[in-house]
Structure 1
Amino acid sequence: MITLSTDELLTGLDRLSSEDANSPMEVANPNPALDIPMEESELGNQISVFHLLKAYGEAMEGGHRELGDVIMANVSEKVSPAGDSLERLAFNLSQDLQKEVDYIKQEALKNFESAFRAFYQIFPYGRFAHFAANSAMVESIPAEAETVHIVDFDVGEGVQWPPVIEALARLGKKVKLTVVDWESQATGTDQDSDWAPAMWNLEEVKARLMDHSCRVGSNLIIESTRIDDLAGGIRGAKRASEWRVFNCMVGLPHMRRVRSRKLVEEFLTTANELVAESGRGMVTRGDGEAWEHLKGCSGFGSFFEGNMVYYMSLLESIELNFPELAEARMALECLFVAPFISSEAWFQRWVEMSEMQGKGKGRKEIMEKWRVSRESLEEAKEMVKESQTSYGVRTGGESENEMVLEWKGTPLVRVSSTWRN
């Protein structure tokens, strides 16, 4: 069985760049600090903010948007980006703090590339998702397959693929990578964040991946396609010697992008159908949002609270890596967490979820589950330092085809794999 080492994943980004990848930010002791009793006024403010946020969710669920705006304006007067996880969550949810947010963003953008490297390498969210998906991909490849064709929903900076390219080069497999080109089309339903620029544009990403493949002796072909042209192009290129992998990463903090779930579901539906038609291939999915967990919410109020729990856990996990580096933490949160936290965006997500459920949208289960290997699970636990931190890794799904990264029991990232052979 071929597996990908965490060392390869940790250095995947560095292999795509000729620049020094050493981050100026130091990793603080990740062990949780002792709780210090809060002053009465601080505790009172927390309780007030918590109840105001709950009231906002209830107001919006009841259709009282003006009341919701008044409540959120009240919240904005009580919070700052330097507070605890609840206060920082509320700060980002507030809609009338744009000037302060813009100032923090502009300061953080001055060192964006270093911030990206630091965030990806220090925190496990993206590395965990990429490792779990990549391991399943490589483990699944049949010996007789000559070419591995990867179709990527959102290639981003391309940091997922260097370890896979190297692993497949060692196996003597040809690699074809088809990436969805989001730069050349405007879908009208996508919610791309403009909080931070892409480190490299798509053509630069493709060039760097090609350079890397040459350095490691890989036979790599890279193509791009529009999302609406995907099915026709892939279906027309079916070959018996080709092993197809459809990869969909969405909502991971380092990505900074909020993709429309309708587009995500369309991609996954197409992927499942194409794999089923050919009778061979795999679909891997990594999700860094609370979407799947919140599908059963009865109203916007519970959906809002579920998102609060999720992002408070994410913010707390970040804080414990920077207990004494508030400015660095604020910069990272501004760039990589704030794009996902918005009261208006959460409401639109709820509307989108309701519409999808109302129309009965959803993928039919036509694929087999790929069971997470024990080797991959143990290596993932080592990657996130499970024995030393509050992170945990477990398997999930009916057939244990999911690998889940948790923080104190709250799921932060889910990666699942299905296949046919």
Structure 2
Amino acid sequence: MSDERTARATLTAVAEPGDDFLNRMIDHCGPGGALEAVRTTRLPQGVSATPQEVRRLDNWRIRLIAAEPDQDMAVCARFRGRLICPGDPEWPTTLDDLGARRPYALWLRGPGDLRYSCLRSVAIVGSRAASPYGLRAAADFAAELAGGGWTVISGGALGIDAAAHRGSLAADGPTVAVLANGVDVPYPASNEGLFAEMARRSLLVSESPPGTHPHRLRFLVRNRVIAALSRGTVIVEAEARSGALNTASWAARLGRVVMAVPGPITSRSSIGCHRLLREEGATLVTRPEEIVEAVGRIGADLAPPPATPVLPRDRLEPVTRSVLEAFPARGATGPAQLAVKAGVDLNTVNAKLGLLAAGGFIERTSSGWRLTKSGRSNSPSATQSADPPELPHTGNDHPQENR
């Protein structure tokens, strides 16, 4: 491993992720020079720092005593992992949008190529205490997006994150988990099986070396990576105080598309989503096609309008439909009454009665004609999936009376 890679691997162990002071030193004198500053606790010439930042050098020097980058790389190699650094072919250049908050390096586990995976990617994040509605939405969205060739990025947490990862895997699509711990540490433990499957088929990503355990602040810090890797972020469910809202904030700051899924107005889990929609200008999405439209190619990935229910009566030609609409909802009626209500002549009514009867809309009784059960139905849900019966073809618009 080169001196620069060794230095970056060491820095991931001694400093908290995305420290702007450390990144300024790396930019000024390279990772080796920054590591030397940590080792000697002396600022590189030309780098300014606040007293608080200078004190960080002391803290990092103490951590440096326990840093073992060669051992970290050996552990990583055992599970076929790798370290990627800025400038590597696999390094996503979108991370550079973070400026002084970008990662020093990334530890990866899994066969996927991170840079390629992020070319068409969407982050789906949300509440850990998700509702069945939220879990279903996250999994369905992820599966549809993955089926369309989009990578789903999330944080590997319980709730919405895990549902998004599982939805993508179910569609045999790529998914990336950005973790707040080492890629060999299954946290939360209940997601251990999910992480094992992702390590086999997709990607686990971390800013921290193998063996690192998470703490609360790292969950918030890693959200910036989720936002930077993806072309847009979808918030499925979020309470008023939620880490998912922090991801949305980072996405907006980086110029990424922020999307939110509406929920029941009585649900605490949707308060954050509704606030994003009302106050932050987030894009409302209810279908995977709308997500693709928001983050895809302008003019090429437009979402088709939602399909409206088509009732069998909608497919009737206008005169036939007017005769059908003239029928009372209950009871029987005769051709003369129908002619008056429909505004057509009696011969036309008699012709249409035969067609409507053959189509199953009406039936003849001893007291006249009446609607059948299907003819009375006005509910789209009752008939939207069924094609109407074929009406018999006739070459004569006025066939013989059918009394």
TM-score by length of 1: 0.26
**Between Structure 1 and Structure 2, whose CA radius of gyration is higher?**
2
TM-score by length of 2: 0.27
Which structure ranks higher in relative contact order (CA pairs < 8 Å, sequence separation ≥ 6)?
A: 1
